[in-house]
Structure 1
Amino acid sequence: MLLALGSCNKLEIKPTDIIDPERGFRNLNDVNMGLIGVYALVDNSLMTINSTVSDEATFPVENTVGNSDAFRWLYNASSGSVTSLYYTYYRAIDRSNRALAGLSALTVNPAETATANRYRGELLALRAFLHFELLRAYASAYQPGAMGVPYMLESKIDYPERNSFESVVTLAKADLAAAKLLLPATQTDKTRMSRLAVTAIQARLALYEKNWNDAITYASEAIAALPLATKAQFPGLWTDANDSEVIWKMKRVGTTDSRAGDFYYRQIGDIVLYAPAFKLINTFDAASDLRYPAYILFDAGRAGVKSKYLVKKYIGGTASAPGLTDIKMFRTGEMYLIRAEARAEAGGDAAGDLNTLRAARINNYVNASFPDKNSLIEAIYLERYKELAFEGHRFFDLRRRNLPVERLAADAANASGAVLLQTTQAQYALPIPLQETQINKNTKQNPNY
């Protein structure tokens, strides 16, 4: 009995080789470190998924290693190219919930209240954003009653069912509203959540909800707070020479190799993994549109099977980190397009918003008029294709309108005939990871997988 009691006492000794969860957040500095851990998991995955699965990029012959299943629409629930984001973002959500719980357990002195409120606001905003990004990627459809994703409000081992699309939207809106009340109006660090960043998320969320009035309200709020980049500023936006019209961005640091540092479709050895689609290239007025030289690089010196076109949008950077630019998560340009689409649906000067954006991007632009609603919306979607290229929207934009993915034959030359992805095919919605549905029997797979 004495030996047994002694053994029980030893089992109650706190571990020394790991951080005890009960002591993980001892002060606000610990909470901030937990918060930074959430930011660390927000990456460019949705940008690359959107480009490879849609008609935004092409698969050059020189690429013999990268994400062929995604580009060729051969992915399934076991394909990490389209499913790995699911676990990455739920890890980030779990980190946000752990930090929120740790913060709630702290006794904060009055002098630290403002800082504590800011951290809580950032964590709530990030939780909403991450769930929304998962919803965009893995919802069976963007409409009420469709299967969304589990919305996790606390850190725990659980086997949740998928929340409906509208439930995820409602919970995200609640988190964003709470965050907005906590975040200070004076926050100026664009690499962290701000009140303006929350407004931008609210605008995008309202667009997917088809809540046109909210989309107009929030987009207008963002536009009033931060104007479009001028023609002189716009090229420098993509080299980090300035951050005009950037609402929120993810900081990138840490390479001295200009090829390796460019995350968009290159690897060491000067191999282009994905190049701009000819379909996209053809939409630009190369002589007048400022976006063409900022987004597209033509290199005539690349001979043989090498693609002469490259994505230029992210290969700027500084002398200490060439080929490395901050990831632009939200910009004023997107807000104009959100408001234009919402106004086209609800009534309002949608053409005015579209013309304002084009005039800021195209030299000698002459305002256009549109005979009807359909032609106006088609023009807005074409403008989203150009303005937001390689920023993580194209595939989701097509899904919002229930439009197929259609590629030019030239863009599918190395895609095993993957020219048309119909809305009825399984791959029109990304699959929930196989391991998730195998372990969690409450999680249903998207249709047709």
Structure 2
Amino acid sequence: MINKIYQKYTLIFSLLILTASCTKLDLVPTDTISPDKAFRNISDINLGLLGGYALVDGSTMNVVATVSDEATYPTENTVGNSDAFRWIYTAANGSVTSNYASYYTAIDRVNRTLAGLDALKLTGADAATGARYRGELLALRAYFHFELLRNYASSYQPGALGVKYMKVSAIIYPARDNFETVVANAKADLVAAKPLIPTTFTDKTRITKAAVSAIQARLALYEKNWGEAITYANEAIAAYPLATKAQFPGIWTDANDNEVIWKAKRVGTTDSRMGDFFFRQTGGIVLYAPAFKLINTFDKVNDLRYPAYIKFDATRTGTKSQYLVNKYIGGTSTAPGLTDIKLFRTGEMYLIKAEAEAESTGDAAGDLNALRAARINGYTNATFADKATLITAILDERYKELAFEGHRFFDLKRRNLSVERLAADAVNASGAVMLPVTQAQYALPLPALEISVNKNAVQNPGY
């Protein structure tokens, strides 16, 4: 950039000498485009909004599966990074830090688009569309900050180190906000966003009113605000009921999107293949396979989730893993692994509601049984002796229902529980069987570059 600016001014200076012009040349050097020039109309606002949506992906799902007890590192994987799986990552490892820059890039795009929207004077239909765009932008800003918080907070409790909540685009050296400050700002953005998005807007590839409720429910779960978690989960459930048994398998091949509240659309033949991370690379190498611990939790005969999530291939012999992640493989031969990324589903809302009810008052067992009955053939309602037993059952159900959707590591962290793998899942992990809550890697590190450049940044403890 500096070299280009230098060349530009050298050319201008030469032209001035050659023409011997006395005309005053007013220049305003800049490396940005002002909002009034970048966002000239409502169509430009939509393009800026789509730039924010473009960075919604499944990268957190990959990180969570690798550092938790969802996946195992098969012997055939001689090409995949193993620092995350072996819990030896540091601030220099992109496998766990790359989301930091990506999500802040998205937030920067959102804030610049909001500034552009503020500068426009819209009327008529454009004003109504602009209001919806503002709602989507505010909700996106909350979502990305929440994802940063889930990934990089030192812990999920008041006073813990969180991330900086950026409401404007600026070149600054921000200190980290505490956990509760990030939560409060995200909640405020979501509350402001919700009434701006009409109920009639139902595009699941973008943030709808129901999607705002789903984000609010998940955020309330992390805040331990049980009342709000129940309220918002109910709103999302009312908008999108659970898929039927006949519909459920088709969710994962994109045959239908029943109970999907918000999804990241994937098109073409090579766009962000979620299935590739787990299932194939050059030569069909399996990078990560389902953990035996996870496999063992399913009723393989009656649970619809087992064949939808996990594939067994007896033809893969020798050092090859016979178990494969089936959840993102998709249903076409032309673009295997190219399935829409399910960001929020009604199944999660049932489990959020059940956990919140178990912690307060309500029919937690009823919601848990309702979800199981929708997923398991011949299911008989279970009873639970006490609160601790019920919460353990809910966490176990989250392990199965939300496998490879980006929750397990964060769920254990929410509950201050160690990550524990079976010995069979840690054969190639250099002894990485248990990650205790006291180990530095229990909280992901901020990138080394952030710490070195930002004089006010503080790293998570232990790094």
Contact 1:266 1:274 in 2 (8 A): no
Pick closer, same or farther for the CA change 1:27–1:258 going to 2, 3 Å.
Answer: closer
Q: Is 1:441 aligned to residue 462 of structure 2?
A: no
- Which residue, out of 166, 178, 193, partners 1:152? 166
Q: Following TM superposition, by how much is the alpha carbon of 1:260 offset from its aligned partner in structure 2, in angstroms?
A: 8.8
Code of the aligned partner of 2:322? K
Q: Which moved more, 1:19-28 or 1:402-411?
A: 19-28
CA RMSD after TM alignment: 2.0
* TM-score, length basis structure 2: 0.93
Q: Which moved more, 1:377-386 or 1:56-65?
A: 56-65
Pick closer, same or farther for the CA change 1:152–1:369 going to 2, 3 Å.
Answer: same
Pick closer, same or farther for the CA change 1:431–1:18 going to 2, 3 Å.
Answer: closer
1:211 corresponding residue in structure 2: 225
Code of the aligned partner of 1:30? D
Distance 2:457 2:96 in 1: 17
Distance 2:224 2:115 in 1: 33
Q: Following TM superposition, by how much is the alpha carbon of 1:109 offset from its aligned partner in structure 2, in angstroms?
A: 1.7
- Which residue, out of 328, 344, 349, partners 1:330? 344
Q: Following TM superposition, by how much is the alpha carbon of 1:172 offset from its aligned partner in structure 2, in angstroms?
A: 0.2
Distance 1:239 1:203 in 2: 26
Contact 2:266 2:272 in 1 (8 A): no
Q: Is 1:54 aligned to residue 68 of structure 2?
A: yes
SS in structure 2 opposite 1:64? Answer: coil
1:310 corresponding residue in structure 2: 324
Q: Which runs of 5 or more residues in structure 2 are unaligned?
A: 1-15
Distance 1:126 1:258 in 2: 20
* TM-score, length basis structure 1: 0.96
1:372 corresponding residue in structure 2: 386
Q: Is 1:77 aligned to residue 85 of structure 2?
A: no
SS in structure 2 opposite 1:272? Answer: coil
Distance 1:386 1:110 in 2: 48
Contact 1:286 1:292 in 2 (8 A): yes
Contact 2:273 2:338 in 1 (8 A): no
- Which residue, out of 228, 236, 239, partners 1:225? 239
SS in structure 1 opposite 2:283? Answer: coil
SS in structure 2 opposite 1:431? Answer: coil
Distance 2:26 2:85 in 1: 53
Question: Percent of counterpart pairs with the same letter?
Answer: 71
Distance 2:28 2:419 in 1: 59
- Which residue, out of 170, 179, 182, partners 2:196? 182
- Which residue, out of 254, 257, 260, partners 2:268? 254
Pick closer, same or farther for the CA change 1:8–1:212 going to 2, 3 Å.
Answer: farther
1:340-384 alpha-carbon deviations (Å, 9 max, x no partner) = 000000011000000000000000000000000000000000000
Pick closer, same or farther for the CA change 1:196–1:258 going to 2, 3 Å.
Answer: closer
Q: Following TM superposition, by how much is the alpha carbon of 1:12 offset from its aligned partner in structure 2, in angstroms?
A: 1.6
Q: Is 1:360 aligned to residue 374 of structure 2?
A: yes
1:84-126 alpha-carbon deviations (Å, 9 max, x no partner) = 0000000000000000000100111223111001111100000
Q: Following TM superposition, by how much is the alpha carbon of 1:419 offset from its aligned partner in structure 2, in angstroms?
A: 0.4
Pick closer, same or farther for the CA change 1:408–1:260 going to 2, 3 Å.
Answer: closer
2:211 corresponding residue in structure 1: 197
2:255 corresponding residue in structure 1: 241
SS in structure 2 opposite 1:35? Answer: helix
Distance 2:193 2:280 in 1: 37
Distance 1:242 1:328 in 2: 12
Pick closer, same or farther for the CA change 1:205–1:18 going to 2, 3 Å.
Answer: closer
- Which residue, out of 415, 430, 434, partners 1:420? 434
